[in-house]
């Protein structure tokens, strides 16, 4: 193959990855934005702001159910057409949320949005991974995962700006517009899906499948224990002023983006186990900053967010090696369902480890220790999964 052909193909693959990153950005923003935006919405629905938990919970419930269900049937559909329909539905459901002031109706719409969102990225990831060669999979995965950082860097600040100056309706309309904008990108850029088979190639729902599908979720469990208390952690124990919080989150988002891209580039040069170990050490180091009493919120956010995204890239690269190409959509859908479930469990455990009387140094350190202990298991998980992959017949 000539250098020109290799370069041309690389550009095509990266173009597909960028489109998938945009879809992931839109999908993640639609889910993540509703929690802070609900502070602006609550008055219109005549409910307290604390009801935002119900709104997020209904979405998560829908995502878990649809992800598990899709495991059994998603291979029978045309993936590209399915992705187009999902983005249309997601945009419509977000738009319809602005046409009601009944809280029960909003919960029903969020549940339906979860049903759609729970399968969108599983299908999209399968299209992407099945298209690119093995040596580029780490790089394109990092490109897609980096979209989460862009939600923090660009998406959330813009949405909150729109809420503050133009109202929450405009903010949700903007998200709906992003869903519609993705349609021509999908149609023009993503490759045509092969004709769906009438008989699904079986991916067994067994212990090994669950182990590989749970890999990314288990890796994210540790940082998700800390996410609910990030603001009080930084203001009460890391010396951050309220006025610096937006800069801290922006800096964390940039660190996450850079760590994701760097890890993706290094996956073709360094062993995944080495990258997983280094990123885990950085994650534990970030937790030591508040434990040891250092007042450096910027360093904490850079290490915490950067290491979390780097670990996620490593976990994703291991997990995608498990299913065959024709089984990838169902596997990715199961991954998404488990991720939603584990995230919910982490949020609940975080609250259980912090008593009602508030955050003290003792229960904060207990939470940080639990997060660190669950994090250091990751390199062991990598070793176990790599051994299982090596034993499979080629």
Query: At 68, which CATH number?
Result: 1.20.1250.20
Q: Which of 25, 33, 24, 301 is closest to 161 using CA atoms?
A: 33
- Could you give the angle at the alpha carbon of 358 between the alpha carbons of 353 and 361, nearest 5°? 75
Residues 70 and 170 in one domain: yes
The number of distinct structural domains making up the chain is 2
Whether 387 maps to a domain, the answer reads yes
Domain boundary pick from 152, 179, 202:
202
Residues 127 and 137 in one domain: yes
Residues 189 and 210 in one domain: no
**Cβ-Cβ contacts under 8 Å for 261 (sequence gap 6 or more):** 142, 143, 146
Whether 210 maps to a domain, the answer reads yes
Residues 31 and 175 in one domain: yes
Whether 384 maps to a domain, the answer reads yes
Residues 219 and 95 in one domain: no
Residues 155 and 228 in one domain: no
Whether 338 maps to a domain, the answer reads no
Domain boundary pick from 177, 202, 227:
202
Residues 85 and 150 in one domain: yes
DSSP state of 139: H
Look up residue 192 and give its two tokens: 């045509």
- The DSSP result for 200-269, as a single string, is PPP---SHHHHHHHHHHHHHHHHHHHHGGGHHHIIIIIS---GGGHHHHHHHHHHHHHHHHHHHHHHTTT
Its domain, for residue 89, covers 1-202
- The DSSP result for 311-373, as a single string, is HHHHHHHHHTTSS-GGGHHHHHHHHHHHHHHHHHHHHHHHHHTS-TT---HHHHHHHHHHHHH
Whether 327 maps to a domain, the answer reads no
Whether 19 maps to a domain, the answer reads yes
Low-confidence stretches of the chain (pLDDT < 50) are: 1-8, 195, 199-200
Largest CA distance in the chain: 67
Q: What is the pLDDT of residue 109?
A: 94
- Residue 304 to residue 282: CA distance in whole angstroms: 8
- CA dihedral of 212, 110, 121, 339, whole degrees rounded to 10: -20
> Collapsing DSSP states into helix, strand and coil, what is residue 104?
helix
Q: What is the pLDDT of residue 3?
A: 42
Residues 221 and 261 in one domain: yes
Contact 361, 251 (CB under 8 A): no
Whether 344 maps to a domain, the answer reads no
User: Residue 293, by phi and psi: left (phi above 0), alpha (psi -120 to 50) or beta?
Assistant: left
Residues 233 and 293 in one domain: yes
Residues 32 and 131 in one domain: yes
Residues 165 and 314 in one domain: no
Whether 392 maps to a domain, the answer reads yes
Residues 241 and 266 in one domain: yes
Domain boundary pick from 162, 181, 202:
202
């Amino acid at each position: 193959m000539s250098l020109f052909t290799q370069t041309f193909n690389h550009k095509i693959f990266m173009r597909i990855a960028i489109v998938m990153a945009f879809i992931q950005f839109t999908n993640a923003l639609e889910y993540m934005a509703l929690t802070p935006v609900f502070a602006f919405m609550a008055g219109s629905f005549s409910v307290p702001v604390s009801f935002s938990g119900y709104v997020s919970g209904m979405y998560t419930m829908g995502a878990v159910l649809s992800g598990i269900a899709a495991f059994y049937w998603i291979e029978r559909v045309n993936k590209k057409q399915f992705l187009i329909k999902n983005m249309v539905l997601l945009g419509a459901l977000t738009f319809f949320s602005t046409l009601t002031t009944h809280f029960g109706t909003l919960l029903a719409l969020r549940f339906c949005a979860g049903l759609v969102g729970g399968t969108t990225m599983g299908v999209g990831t399968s299209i992407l991974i099945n298209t690119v060669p093995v040596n580029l999979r780490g790089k394109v995965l990092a490109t897609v995962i980096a979209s989460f950082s862009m939600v923090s860097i660009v998406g959330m600040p813009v949405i909150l700006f729109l809420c503050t100056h133009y109202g929450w309706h405009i903010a949700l309309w903007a998200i709906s517009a992003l869903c519609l904008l993705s349609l021509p990108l999908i149609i023009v850029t993503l490759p045509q899906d092969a004709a769906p088979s009438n008989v699904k190639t079986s991916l067994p729902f067994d212990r090994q499948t669950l182990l590989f599908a749970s890999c990314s979720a288990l890796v994210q469990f540790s940082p998700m224990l800390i996410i609910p208390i990030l603001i009080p952690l930084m203001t009460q124990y890391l010396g951050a002023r309220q006025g610096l919080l937006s800069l801290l989150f922006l800096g964390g988002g940039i660190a996450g983006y850079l760590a994701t891209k760097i890890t993706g580039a290094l996956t073709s040069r360094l062993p995944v186990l080495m990258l997983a170990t280094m990123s885990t050490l950085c994650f534990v180091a970030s937790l030591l900053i508040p434990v040891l009493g250092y007042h450096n919120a910027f360093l904490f956010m850079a290490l915490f967010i950067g290491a979390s995204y780097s670990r996620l890239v490593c976990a994703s690269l291991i997990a995608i090696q498990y299913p065959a190409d024709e089984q990838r959509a169902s596997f990715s859908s199961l991954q998404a369902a488990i991720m939603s479930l584990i995230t919910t469990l982490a949020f609940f455990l975080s609250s259980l480890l912090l008593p009602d009387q508030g955050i003290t140094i003792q229960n904060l350190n207990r939470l940080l220790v639990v997060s660190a202990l669950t994090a250091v298991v990751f390199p062991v998980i990598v070793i176990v999964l790599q051994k299982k992959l090596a034993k499979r017949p080629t």
